[in-house]
Structure 1
């Protein structure tokens, strides 16, 4: 070991360790955002199922989605907002929120939407053929 190289490992570690820790936090942050997105998508799908049912309403869909968010989303998904819309032919649910922060000042938005036709009873006009 040369006299001029003393302390070079310490200097390299001072630079490398914070970068490695930041990369680890970034991976955890992305995983939390991905999980929060999946929770929002699941809640939107459940809300759509309730909203588009034959006797369903937009309020039913909104309540169903909010119930699932309350059960699953308290950790990774925060500041949620659920909106539902139902017309005579279609229904839709939109969910927005924020992923929990691991890296300070990094606010990652979450958005999920589900839409589909309203279920309707259509009588068999062919006479059972």
Structure 2
């Protein structure tokens, strides 16, 4: 029995850091999932503003950044917004770095939304 003294303490010392790291990784993955949804939402809001007939790429950029500010920028750090608008198609991309819970682990989240650029046409296909 004397040789077993301290075995429980040794097991606790070995297992506790592994459990803590597992818990932190779970939190980090949840934050990454949440940051991806924030980026997708901001991209969709930017697309809605940029694709309308009288909209512009600047309108989409401003709306996406406003959505990011409203949702809180602590989860998605250093977000960048890129809007591409042509006469036929509009694309909004939002990228950023996820807040780090696990030291040294730098994950990125992004969201993209695309759709047809709106334009008013007559039933014959001509523009008014």
> Counterparts of 1:30 and 1:106 in 2: how far apart (Å)?
11
Partner of 1:24: 23
Aligned residues: 124
Report how far residue 38 of structure 1 moved. Answer: 0.2
TM-score (norm: length of structure 1): 0.93
> Counterparts of 2:72 and 2:113 in 1: how far apart (Å)?
18
Report how far residue 124 of structure 1 moved. Answer: 2.8
> Counterparts of 1:16 and 1:43 in 2: how far apart (Å)?
41
Report how far residue 29 of structure 1 moved. Answer: 0.5
What pairs up with 1:5-84 in 2 under 5 angstroms? Answer: 5-84=4-83
Report how far residue 73 of structure 1 moved. Answer: 3.3
| 3-state SS, counterpart of residue 122 of structure 2 | coil
1:118 equivalenced with 2:121 (yes/no): no
Report how far residue 74 of structure 1 moved. Answer: 1.5
Conserved 8 A contact 1:57-1:86? yes
Report how far residue 89 of structure 1 moved. Answer: 0.3
Indicate the larger mover: 19-28 or 66-75. Answer: 66-75
TM-score (norm: length of structure 2): 0.94
Unaligned ranges ≥5, structure 1: none
- The C-alpha deviation readout for 1:41-69, integer Å capped at 9, x for no partner, is 00000000111111110000000000000
> Counterparts of 2:72 and 2:24 in 1: how far apart (Å)?
20
Structure 1 runs of 4+ with >3 Å offset: none
Aligned CA-pair RMSD: 0.8
